[in-house]
Amino acid sequence: MERVCVYCGSNPGFRPVYGEAARRLGRALGEHGLGLVYGGGNAGLMRVLADAALEAGARVTGVMPEVLCAMGRAHEGLTELRVVPTMHERKALMAELADAFIALPGGLGTLDELFEAWTWAQIGLHRKPIGLLDVGGFFGPLVAHIDRAVGEGFMRGQHRDMLAVESDPERLLERFASYEPPRIGKLLDQEYL
C-alpha cells in the first residue's frame, strides 16, 4: 500500500473532534510513509487533512473537476493537483491512484464516493481495502443501517465485512495491512444470479 484515498467533507462540521480526526489521519499517513489522494479542496476537513499530511511529509495528490477549480476551490499547496473534466472522472482517477479508501465524516459527496468505491469492490472491479474513520460515533447510524441490510437479505455478510470501521486512524491502517478481500464478487456469486 502506497497511497490512500480519503473522502471527507468540504465543510468542517460543528464539532472540533472532526478536525482533530482529520489532522490525526493526515499525520498518520505521513508517519507511515503513505501518500494521500483526496478531492483537492481548500476548505473544511479536506483542507485540514491535506495540510496535516503535507506537514508530516506525505505526498498529497488532489483530484478536482474543472468547474470547482474555476470557482477557486483547489488547494494551492499540494504536491500535485490533477484537474479533470467531470466529477465522474474525478472519482475514477482517485480510485485508480489509490491502494485503499477511507471515509471521514462528510455529506453527500463523501457518501457517494464511499459507496461507489465499495460497490466497485463488491462486484470485483478492485480488491482494495475500504474503511470508515468513525469520529465521535458519526457513522454509527449508517453502520446500523448497513447491518440491517444484511439482516434483511439485501447484502451478504462477506460484502459487509469488506468495510472496516475504526475510531483510531492507526488501527484502521493496521487493519488495511492485513486485509483479505472476499474471493468471489457479487456478480460471480451464483446465489445472486
3-state secondary structure of 164: strand
- Spatial neighbors of 183 by CB under 8 A, at least 6 apart, are none
**Please, are residues 120 and 94 in contact by the beta-carbon 8 Å criterion?**
no
Tens digit of each residue's pLDDT (9 = 90 or more) over 52-87: 999 999 999 999 999 999 999 999 999 999 999 999
Instruction: Mark residue 166 as left, alpha or beta (left: phi above 0; alpha: psi -120 to 50; beta: remaining).
Output: beta
What local confidence, expressed as pLDDT, does residue 148 receive? 97
Instruction: Identify which has the larger pLDDT, 142 or 180.
Output: 142
What local confidence, expressed as pLDDT, does residue 193 receive? 32
Query: Is 90 exceeded by the pLDDT of residue 116?
Result: yes
What are the chain's domains?
3-192 (3.40.50.450)
Question: Given the C-alpha cell 474543472, which residue does it identify?
Answer: 66
Predicted TM-score of the model (pTM): 0.93
Other beta carbons less than 10 A from residue 58's beta carbon:
24
Query: Is 70 exceeded by the pLDDT of residue 186?
Result: no
What average pLDDT is seen over the chain?
A: 94
**Please, are residues 175 and 166 in contact by the beta-carbon 8 Å criterion?**
yes
Query: Is 50 exceeded by the pLDDT of residue 23?
Result: yes
pLDDT range class, residue 184, cuts 50, 70, 90 = low
d(C-alpha 146, C-alpha 154), whole Å: 9
d(C-alpha 89, C-alpha 145), whole Å: 29
Instruction: Mark residue 44 as left, alpha or beta (left: phi above 0; alpha: psi -120 to 50; beta: remaining).
Output: left
**Please, are residues 21 and 169 in contact by the beta-carbon 8 Å criterion?**
yes
Cα atoms in the 13 Å half-sphere on the side-chain side of 102 = 31
Other beta carbons less than 10 A from residue 151's beta carbon:
11
Query: Is 80 exceeded by the pLDDT of residue 190?
Result: no
**At 175, which amino acid appears?**
R
**Please, are residues 165 and 139 in contact by the beta-carbon 8 Å criterion?**
yes
Nearest to 138 by CA among 162, 104, 96, 109: 104
**Please, are residues 90 and 84 in contact by the beta-carbon 8 Å criterion?**
yes
- Spatial neighbors of 89 by CB under 8 A, at least 6 apart, are 65
